Amino acid sequence: MTAGYAWVQTDIDQQLLTELQSELGVSRPIALALSRLGFSSETAQGFLSPSLSNLSNPFDLPGTEKAAERLWKAIDRHEKILIHGDYDTDGITASVLLSSVLTENGADTEVFLPHRIDDGYGLTEESIEKACSTDFSLLVTVDCGITSHDAVECARSRGLEVIITDHHEPCDTLPDALAVIDPKLPGAPECVKELAGVGVAFKLCHAFLKLGRDNGLGGHQTDLKNYLDLVALGTVADIVPLLHENRCLVRYGLGVLSRQQRPGIRALCDVAGLNGDVIRAPDIAFRLAPRVNAPGRMGDASLSMNLLLAQGMADAFAAARTLDDANRARQQLEQETADLAEKQLIERNFSPDWASIVVHGKDWHAGVLGIVAARLARSYNRPAVVLSLDSSDAYSGSVRSIPGINIIEVLDSVAHLLDRHGGHAMAAGLSLQPRHLQEFIEAFEHAVARHFTEEHLKPQLEICGIASIAEFDGQFFEQRDLLEPFGHSNPEPVFLCRDVRPDRLLPAGKTHTRGALRDLSNRGIDFIAFGRTPDSFPPPPWDVVIKPQLNYYMGRCTPQVEILDLRPAGIVTG
């Protein structure tokens, strides 16, 4: 359990709370959670009951109609279509989705996924040269390409027309492609602004099928709902906000994923220990996606693509075991690199006054730099950069940020020292020359410091409101399911319970505690507290910040709360 949390509460609009309870028929804690997310009684209903029928018209996303027309023309002309993806779960699922839908409708497609070590990130001139060894006339990117001006020119010089689908931040000028589809561009509906790469590919597939059906070209045999397992997998893995259309696609996609109709998904769930279970968003984030990501992190993402495309169970289980082995190797490599990074911080006398962290080494594996950066950012609660000097004598790596600091804006301010950078507000990649390293460390520190305040030093617990243990009843847990899927921008609801006492405190493993809590309502509930031993608890009574949840164990489902933080009762929060 992390010490030193800042407890953040917002003022409660009691009238809104009453309206949410009466008009939606939800319990008070659920109304608190909806209020915390900014919903009114009018907008909350759509959030609680998303429907695929309410998805936006795919043609409302600029570029999709033109791209769909070109794809049908390619099918009619028997042209070869090259799909250029990316090596993470988002890029892999987007590639499998688009290639499968096009192939099912008569297209001749081939997928190229760059090798992380040999080819590097994204659409590049080198990847074009490598991928276009055979006769293609149309190139479609997924999850990459929005800033790849030189690569698009290279493709066009080879006689390829280019369709770009991406979800990363665009530059001021766009590549000279036939169609550019990116929800970050002007004109895109607000409900699709935060789509993952696989979500953008889904919108293109939707546009492709709609155009085909409306104009008698085909598409009737394809049920796009059957591909929502891929959309859920890639969307959750890419840590995009689970709101608007992302929420709807993931909500329904988790249902498809739980049915495990795809041989590769069935095998992947088996090695991840999810057989027969209802799959939830955290299962993707912590059990499925790391395995799908692992081959791409270690080098060859095509192993994961082959798993998702597998037609038979024998091939699927063999591929799943390969992914599981790759994930174990990744875990070991990640720990070794994290240890080296921590050792470097100790040697450099890390100071709490630093606003940022930059660590660097030689030949650190590119596949784990982002994970290590995320670990450092989480542990030290400040933006962290992890760089590796590779065989080309250049530094490349990853940066991860913390809430409130847009890392793209920071990198833009030091762009004169970088060869390349790009990504999202919370995560990005970058490369630079060794001669610029020290200047970059100093400039990055100054740039972050301009955004950094004391408020950033403490991790925050955003509390929906004060609740009693008695309110976490059967109705609450039944309605809590309506808030799922939980993830980025839709976290599990967190509450403050005042003046509680433990019925018992028992060790759970070596470093955790389990037991039961009781408050002034005299109602009790089981609890788990991670990272805190029984002897570390202060004398009761306490004010506790808790996360109510259902504990699934040995076929049983019991309500419990996870204690996130606690203080002696009556201490002012903040």
Reduce the secondary structure of 220-234 to three states and give it as a string. Answer: CCCCHHHHHHHHHHH
Whether the per-residue pLDDT at 35 is higher than 90: the answer is: yes
pTM of the model: 0.91
d(CA 549, CA 557): 10
The region of weakest confidence among 17-26, 542-551, 554-563 is 554-563
Q: What is the pLDDT of residue 276?
A: 72
Give per-residue pLDDT as tens, 46-73. 999 999 999 999 999 999 999 999 999 9
Q: What is the pLDDT of residue 120?
A: 75
Give per-residue pLDDT as tens, 372-389. 999 999 999 999 999 999
What phi and psi values does residue 186 have, to the nearest 5 degrees? -60, 145
Distances (CA, A) of 174 to 169, 181, 185, 204, 310: 11, 11, 10, 19, 36
Cα atoms in the 13 Å half-sphere on the side-chain side of 320: 22
Following CA atoms 480, 481, 487, 488 in sequence, which dihedral angle do they give, to the nearest 10 degrees? -60
Q: What is the pLDDT of residue 573?
A: 52
Q: How confident is the model at residue 572 (pLDDT cuts 50, 70, 90)?
A: low
Give per-residue pLDDT as tens, 101-154. 999 999 999 999 998 877 777 898 889 988 887 789 999 999 999 999 999 999
Q: Which two tokens stand for residue 537?
A: 């608890």
Whether the per-residue pLDDT at 3 is higher than 60: the answer is: no
d(CA 220, CA 226): 14
CB neighbour list of residue 430: distance below 8 Å, 6 or more residues apart: 385, 387, 396, 397, 398, 399, 411, 418, 420, 421
Q: Per-residue pLDDT averaged across 439-453, rounded?
A: 92
Name the burial class of residue 532, with classes exposed (0-12), middle (13-18) and buried (19+) by CB atoms within 10 angstroms of its CB.
buried
The region of weakest confidence among 480-484, 492-496, 507-511, 520-524 is 520-524
d(CA 238, CA 413): 25
Q: What is the pLDDT of residue 521?
A: 85
Q: What is the pLDDT of residue 442?
A: 96
Q: What is the pLDDT of residue 10?
A: 85
Distances (CA, A) of 132 to 50, 106, 138, 160: 42, 21, 10, 9
Closest CA to 26 of 49, 3, 54, 60: 49
d(CA 178, CA 198): 20
Average pLDDT, the chain: 93
The proportion of the chain whose per-residue pLDDT surpasses 70, expressed as a percent, equals 97
Q: How confident is the model at residue 1 (pLDDT cuts 50, 70, 90)?
A: very low
d(CA 387, CA 437): 10
The helix (run of H) or strand (run of E) holding residue 427 is strand 427-432
